[in-house]
Structures are given as C-alpha cells and as structure tokens.
Structure 1
Amino acid sequence: MNVSEPMLPPVRGLVDRDGRLVEADQRLHDLNARAGGAIGQPLAVPQIAALARLAQRLGILVSRGVIAADGPDDLELWVRAEPDPAPASGNVHLHITGWRSRAAWHPAAAAEERATDFLRSEADWLWETDSALRLTFLSLSAGTRYGFDVGAMLGQPLTRFFALGEGDGGAFPILGGLALQQRFDDQPATIRSTGHRVRLAANPRTDANGVFAGFIGAAHVLEDVVPTAVAPTAPVPPPQDAITTAFAARLDQALRAPLDRIIANADSIHAQSEGPLRQDYADYAADIASAGRHLMGLVDDLVDLQAIERPDFVVAREPLDLADVARRAAGLLQVRASDAKVRIDRPSLGETLAATGEFRRALQVLVNLIGNAVRYSPPEGMVWVRAEREGNVAAVIVADQGKGIAPEDQARIFEKFERVDPREAGGSGLGLYIARRLARAMGGDVTVDSAPGQGARFVFTLPYRG
C-alpha cells in the first residue's frame, strides 16, 4: 500500500559491504520485496542502493532526496546513508523518511509518447528531471562509460551536474524550454565532474492533471575522450567562471522582466482594481502572485550564488550600526509576519551596535534569518531579534518558537540546496548557504543553536567597531 505517512518514525535498514540488505524495518523490507529483493540479497531499490554505495566509498554520511518506483506509483523518499562507525565492517546504516506517494508520470498523449521515443532513439544516453529541474534519472551505462557517479547526482539540480553554455546567437535553449514548458534542442553543456562536452535536448512531460512535471532529456556526446592538453594553436575555451556568469546573467534577463509583469498583473487582479471580480478568481490571482514572488526569490538566490562563488568576489568594509540593520530587516518582514500571525520583537529605537561590514549584504543576511524564523514559527508565535556585543564581536541573535533543528541537521542546512524537510513549503535551499558565505566574507559568521521542539537560535556576527 502506497501512502504518505510523514508522522511515522523513520524507517531504518542496514546494508553490508557487498551491498546486501541484512536488516530492514517493515516498510523498507516490503518496498525491497516489491522490487524483487530479499533480506540477505543485494538491495533491489536502485536509487537507495546507489546512495549506500556512495556513502561506503566516500566514508561519509550522504543525505539526498530520491524518487523510487513502487508498482504503479512513485515514492518520494529522503535517504540518509551513513557508514558504520567501525570502518572495517563496511556496513552502511540507512535512515529513510518522507515516503510520499505520487502518481507516476505517464505521457499525456500518443503524440507526446512518439516524440519521446524519437528523442530516446537518437540519444547517446538519457536523463530526466522533475519540475524543479532536479535529476530523477541518469543512464547507469553512461556513468560507467564517461566516469561520473550516477548515485551522487540523483536528486541534485541539473546545473550541479551540467555546466550550461550559450547556444547559437548567444541564447540558452533550456531557458526557452523552461519558460514555455516546451521542447528544446542544441543546448551546449559540459559534465562538471569529467569535462566531457555534450549537446542536450529534451521534451517536457506532464502529470495526470496536465501540469508540467519536468523534462525527459537526451545527451549527445561531442567527444568521447577529454583532452589532456590543449595544442598551442587550439583556441582556449572560456573559463568555467565565464560560462557560469553568462548563464546567470541570461537567467536574470530571461526571467526577471516576465516575472515582474506576472506579479504586477496578478496583484492588480487580486486587488480588483479594474472592478468587482468573483472572490475565487481574486484568490487564484493572489496564489499566482505568491508563486511569482517565490520564483523571483529563486532567481535572486541563483544570481547571488553565482556572485559569491566567483574567486574575485569581495564585500565592502564600511562602518554600520548593526542594531539599525536588524530593525530595518524586521521592518521589511513585518507584513509577512502579520499575515502569518507572528510577532517580531526587534531592538529598540535607541539601541546601537557599531560594526564593520557592507550594509546591503548585512541587511540581506538578516532578512534571510528573520524571514526563516517567521516562516517556521507557529501562529501567535514570537520571533526575538537582539543586538549584543560579545568582546570584539557584534552579534544579532534571531530566535523563534518553531519546531527546532536536530543536531545532525545543523551542519547540513548551511550546504547548497539543503533543507531540513524538503516536503515543507520554503525557499530554494540556498538562503543559509549564501548568508553564511556573505557573513564570512565580511569577517563574521552565521551559526545555529537548536534542538527539536525548542525553536532555533541563529547568530549573525560581524567585527565590532569600537
């Protein structure tokens, strides 16, 4: 039986050094049996087995979302694979949550099916994504042939696997395909881990309700062997930073203006500025505006990510009042907090805290921290924002009354594209990564102190200016 039971305890299992499932809670046992496996035999769910092998090979905990087939449906799982504390054993402990069932994708029409068959027939190897462009499938044979780890990439953003380049005319075909949810061809790309150059094409896929559900894609390899040296007369390829910068710039240009129009028009419809409107239509418009703002935030995060990861990224070192920055950040989030029925207790108007940093970036960090606190606070909850000096450090503490963060998740939330619970509504998984990178670039840091059921306490520090 496929059901979503997020409140049940985590499902545990144990895989030995040879990839055999030797222990399993009932749900994992049943899923493995439906896939054709049994206790004492190799783990039969490919996506979970791949993560177990990766954790065993690297000797570190690996935690990722996967989508596994289960009869006629798909299961969304969050899998933590952790090597045994005794490395000699070779065992890997599995800790699986989520278990969210969804209808498997099927082509919406015969024409779509024929188009996909044609795409597959001319491919060197295949890939698939969900609607958020996270990889859900990569050809295992291609990983063996071209030297990349399929298991490590499943559940990761497409752009973490491929570095995308400009096509003919300086455009990125994938952006047009994503914006219009239609087929794209001739997207140049490079496999980041190996350097192989490929050309991508993909057809969109839809779910049973006709909603965009991602891409079914083909990769055409342009060279079988990665050159070990560039001949003196050969043109020098653009540096990876240049490709990434160009992609981020195109992404910003391609999406920001349309999203601005969508949000503005949806807000206008919701406000009924052109006359009375059925309330359900007005509510739909509010949902559209909210979704547009979410996508705009993702664009902002991706542009920021590109900027902070450049080797020449620098921040200004200027005098600022960190207490004033905290008050401004809280003020920017007051409407969101009121809508969520959450109160923000900010530093008083007379309070000051001299620090050194870049005003714009410090404000960005605190908007992220306070915004997260509001998002995860219960209705009628409180978010406390305090400015304090600790020796040579100026600190702003943001504390909430949310459900808290388990100790084993507190390092992971500062990694790219990581969230404590991917099933919850939230951002892109980039906010805390960017916030910490910005804080450290200014000579400070962002840290967390939390426990399940006791809320979270984030501390943003900068050098104190005496």
Structure 2
Amino acid sequence: MIAVGLGGESAVAHATVDAQGRLRTADLALDGLNARAGGRVGEVVAVPQLATAARLARRLGVIVSRGVVVADEDGDLHLWVRAQPEGEDVRLAVSGWREAPAWQPAPDAAATLAAGGDWHWETDASLRLTFVSLEAAAQAGLDAFALLGQPLTALFALDDGDDGALPILDALARRRPFDAQAARVRASGRKVLLSAEVRHDAAGAFAGLSGGAEMVATVEPVEPEALPESFTGGLDKALRRPLARIVANADSINAQTDGPIAPGYADYAADIASAGRHLLGLVDDLADLQAVERPGFRLAPEPIDLVDVARRAAGLLSVRAAAAQVTVERPPVEAVVPALGDFRRALQIAVNLVGNAIRYSPEGGSIGLSVTGDSDWARLVVTDRGKGIAPADQARIFGKFERIDPSEVGGNGLGLYIARRLARAMSGDLTVESTPGEGARFTLTLPAGPAPRR
C-alpha cells in the first residue's frame, strides 16, 4: 500500500476539496489512494471517510479531526484526518498511514450479523458512530452523514432486558460480542434488537463495535389456526428484508459513495430506490390492513400528548418536505394537548396525513399542522394548499384501494382507509373538509385524556 512511500506514520499528505465535494488538488499519496477508490482530481472525492470529514468541516465551519480506517487493496489504512475550512474550500491533512490487515469478524459473529441484521452500524472505541447504513438513517428519518461522530445512543435508545440488565454493558466490560440488546430507534420509537462483534486494533486494544439491528415485528400476533395462510405469517418479513436491501444498495449507488459513475446509471439507481420504497410501503400497508380488519380490533388507550405526536410526524418527514420545497408549520413546542390513544398508531396516522399533504402541496407551499383540545376531544388538524378534493370524492378517499387519480405517482389507496380504521379503533375518527382548488383539511379526533407522564 501507499504508506511505505510516505516514509512512515509521521508523514502528512495534503489535499483540497471544493464546495461541491470535488478533489481540487492532492499530494501523490492522497491522489493514489483516491484513484484506487475509483476517483481522480476534478471529480467528487471517492474515499467516503475523507469526503465525510470534508463535508462535516464545511457544514459546521470548524476544524474536524478524527481517526478513520480506509479499505485499500487487500488491507486497511489507519489514518488521522484533519479537515479545515478555508473559504469555499476545505483543506485535508492526512497523517498516520499505518497499514493493518483488513478486519474480519469471527465466523460465528459474521453469521449472526448476516442472519439478524436489517441495518448495519459501526462505532469507534468511544462508541461514536463511524458508519450507519443509508437504509437505517432513511427509515429513522435522519441524515446518515449527520449521525457520524455522534454517540450510538443518538440513533438507538437502549432498553433493559427482562432481568433489568443491558447486554451491551456486560459485553463492553468483558470485551466480547453481544446480541438481543433491546432498543428503540430514537427518532421513530421503532423496536429493534441489536447485536455486535467487538473490534480490535493492531495492538489488540478495543477499537469499537461492528453491529446489526434487527427490526422487531410490531403487528399484533395472530392465532395460527385463525389465519393459517395470513400475509403476516412470514411473507411480509420475507419481502421486507430483500426490498430494504435493494433500496439501501440503490441509494448507495445513487449517492456514488463508492466512487463516481455515469449520471444515467445514478438516475436509474434513484428510480430503483423509489420503486423499492413504494413496495415496502405496500408491504407495511397490507400487514396493517389485515390487523385493522380483524373482528373486534381495538387499541388499548393510554395518555398521549397529541402535540408531541404532531411534532414528531413533522420531524420524521422533514427531509421529504425539504426536498419538495414545502414548509411544515409545526405547533409550538411548549404546547400540550392530552388525549387517549395508542401513541404509535396516532403517529402512524399523523405521518400519513402530513405525507399526503407534502405530496399534494405546490412547490414553495406550506402545510398547517395544528392541535387543539377541549374537555371532551383532542384534535390534530393537517391543512394543505393543494388542488383540493371534490365533494363527491371526499367519502370515497377513505375506501379500500380508492385513489382519486390512479395516474398520480405514489400511494396505493390504503393509507387513508387504514388511518380511519385506526382512529376509530381508538374511539376517535378521521374526517376531511375540502374545497376544490383551495386545498384540504384533515382532522384526527381522539378522546381527551389526562396529561401524559413525561
């Protein structure tokens, strides 16, 4: 590898990255490393770790220094990267250049991660994230690059086991692998099980964790004899995992994380990712459809804050709203409107309503998100300024597989049907008011309740 040509760990190689992430200049060592990753001067930096450091330094406007490990030919390079903003450019100074054999998990750990991981993540010795799969960040409604350098707990909230213990703590104390660590994705509350293998540096010291996160099924259990051929009997999981991997890989290709590709291929990858997300949404909707149509389906009420539900829904869809150039007007953070309902299902309804409002809002438009309450009812209202819904269609849109305009991109005609069934299973309702050409106003109504515990 190139480290030999640098004359040891003390050598420093320099490069300059412009505002578009392109490599402007590079010393011989960095030019060679970037070239082996598929890049060249004048193109986007092809080494993801260097590109990430430059992006963070530019975004934060401060010097970013960190140790990284870069795959290079048959081994790894342990480097220290210093990224310093200089006007519109970022200057990189890379030192260390220590060669090491490529890290490989133990055979049993590799099998565990391959079998049980829907997402992949890695940390350094301080348990700060050094890698998060694009799929994990997208499903959590977060920016994968923004998570880098953050504590593992910025992505996952760890839960105690049945015995009150945290498997990850015992694993860290004993420097050994762990699995079945219960956790929740912090942004969405989605339950996952974490497993990880311990990483060691060349000297044998603890260097971090390389782990996976397996999503825990959230659909209510179904008696096998009642629905022996049910969709949720395993087909949904069998479909979800390969679809999620297709989406993650297509996103990686589109983002050109492994090096520049022809623009046409990047566009194809974006189309594949979009189609994969649509199919994933359909899988989720079909699983929910079976649940809500079960005879006697009800949801156990609990005290929730409908303002918190509304703000979380807006946060989860902030990236989509920004991409559509639509502003979501959130309720004040200090407001509280108590209600009785199932938090996860109320959030699912709110996400559906806000997502529809983003889809139908004009570019540069805004979406109103307000929450009010009285002694009897709590109401979450989502208002858009789109094309509106004709009176004859306002009842039809809550039907199963009903779409006003089947030629429109996105949607499968199940979202509002499921949302209303969920609202009514919480002793509430979901209604719409609209005037064609003036937008639509959807109202989720739930019974008023006591203030939820914080």
Higher relative contact order (CA 8 A, sep 6+): 2
TM-score (norm 2): 0.49
TM-score (norm 1): 0.48
